[in-house]
Amino acid sequence: MAVMSTSTVHRVAMISVHTSPLDQPGTGDAGGLNVYVVETARRLAKRGIEVEIFTRRTSAGLAEVAPMAPGVVVRHIDAGPYEGLSKEDLPGQLCAFAAGVMRHVAISPEGHYDLVHSHYWLSGQVGWLAADRWNVPLVHTMHTMARVKNASLAEGDRPEPSGREIGEEQVVRAARWLVANTDAEAHDLITLYDADPSRVRVVPPGVDLEVFTPGSKSAAKEGVGLPSDAEVVLFVGRIQPLKAPDVLVRAVADMLLANPDRRKRLVVPIIGGPSGSGLERPRALQQLARDLGVADVVQFVPPVSRAELAQWYRAADIVAVPSYSESFGLVVLEAQACGAPVVAAAVGGLPTAVGDAGVLVSSHDPAVWSKELAGLLDHERSRLELVDRAVPHAAGFGWEASTDALLGVYENACRGGQGDALTSMLLEDVPAAPIP
């Protein structure tokens, strides 16, 4: 039940053009951004703040307005054909999307929204226009950035286009506040996009501590259909080169080459669906597993509900996150909240998410990953030490704290305020740099 809000913010327009908060995370373009929008919107509504989320209609069967939670509605906007458009095609539909948003608000009273919060650069382009038209502040969260992704591409992956970089620059200049997930992301905004440090605020994402909780490993293994003595190395995420599931598959092959007896127990579930450039060859990872002779060990599991996902985390002996780039890495916190040790690439926001409760790997060499994974599997005491640290670490990242901090940004934006002492303290040592 919503409480009466004492905030100066009463109604927020969130914009998520390319992916709907109603979509299942783990496939297509649905991922951490979706989780972020859903969790913050729900909690803002519980504080008495109405949230309306604008997203593109992708099916004729979708209602124009879909309630998502008490105080939260999703508004589907027609912009281009319902099917057949990739994320890369959407810049050509931003005008149509913006027009649809404007038509909706034209029948609303002046001052209907207190601010606009856009997610990802495509939404930022629409949010820029909407905020200017409605004379309200624009708060923007990048989630990912082209220049960061292009600096750490997987082999064979295509770079983000220059049009995206230009669009991101424009959104950075237009937004009154930029919300970064970590200090590292704030640094990237400042050094790669020349963002004003006084307009950047670090608000770490969170984890649902009611869904993702510790539990019995043996019961979890039984619940997901795994043998009680299985050694489980779990991957959760969209299947695309950026997430590097191929690094894990190659590492598994190396592990089995070094220790053939491990094949009797090792299980490597990969939970997720093809996304991004991975859609061009949706069965490539399965073929790689066959080519390397590990198809009997690697299991491909479609995206699952959050409750079932928590069971998979509890069943895992290790959760592997080998991504080439991550603005944060919600999978890390979800796994840790369930008591699972994490081995992750030392990139982007992953060091912040992992903290001292996991292992960071400064390489994407499968041989290096093989040694790290095998070493941890062979030393139960080391794993248990990580488990002891994992749950308390994740507990420090609840969505309630994230929403409190985000609401603070909203309040400041509506008052016309600039950076506060916290922002200045976080960023005072980060020099602005020219855009390369």
Q: Which residues are CB-contacts of 30 (< 8 A; sequence separation ≥ 6)?
A: 19, 20, 23, 24
260, 266, 203: which is closest to 233 by C-alpha? 266
Residue 164 is assigned to a ligand binding site: yes
Residue 120 is assigned to a ligand binding site: yes
Residue 313 is assigned to a ligand binding site: yes
Residue 326 is assigned to a ligand binding site: yes
Q: Which residues are CB-contacts of 45 (< 8 A; sequence separation ≥ 6)?
A: 2, 51, 69, 70, 71, 72
CA dihedral 63→68→73→79, nearest 10 degrees, is -50
Residue 393 is assigned to a ligand binding site: no
Residue 87 is assigned to a ligand binding site: yes
Residue 18 is assigned to a ligand binding site: yes
386, 394, 330: which is closest to 357 by C-alpha? 386
Residue 24 is assigned to a ligand binding site: yes
> What's the full length of the chain, in residues?
436
Residue 203 is assigned to a ligand binding site: no
414 touches 115 (CB < 8 A): yes
Residue 316 is assigned to a ligand binding site: yes
For residue 415, the one-letter residue type is: R
Written as six digits, the tokens of 211 are 């869904």
Residue 193 is assigned to a ligand binding site: no
Residue 144 is assigned to a ligand binding site: yes
Residue 32 is assigned to a ligand binding site: yes
Residue 29 is assigned to a ligand binding site: yes
The radius of gyration computed from the CA coordinates of the chain, to the nearest angstrom, equals: 22
Residue 33 is assigned to a ligand binding site: yes
Pairing of strands 200-202, 177-180: parallel
Residue 234 is assigned to a ligand binding site: no
The full DSSP string for 298-331 is EEEE----HHHHHHHHHH-SEEEE--S--SS-HH
Binding site residue list: 18, 24-25, 29-34, 87, 120, 144, 164, 238, 243, 304, 313-314, 316, 326, 334
Binding site residue list for UDP-N-acetyl-alpha-D-glucosamine: 24-25, 32, 238, 243, 304, 326, 334
Binding site residue list for 1D-myo-inositol 3-phosphate: 18, 29-34, 87, 120, 144, 164
Binding site residue list for Mg(2+): 313-314, 316
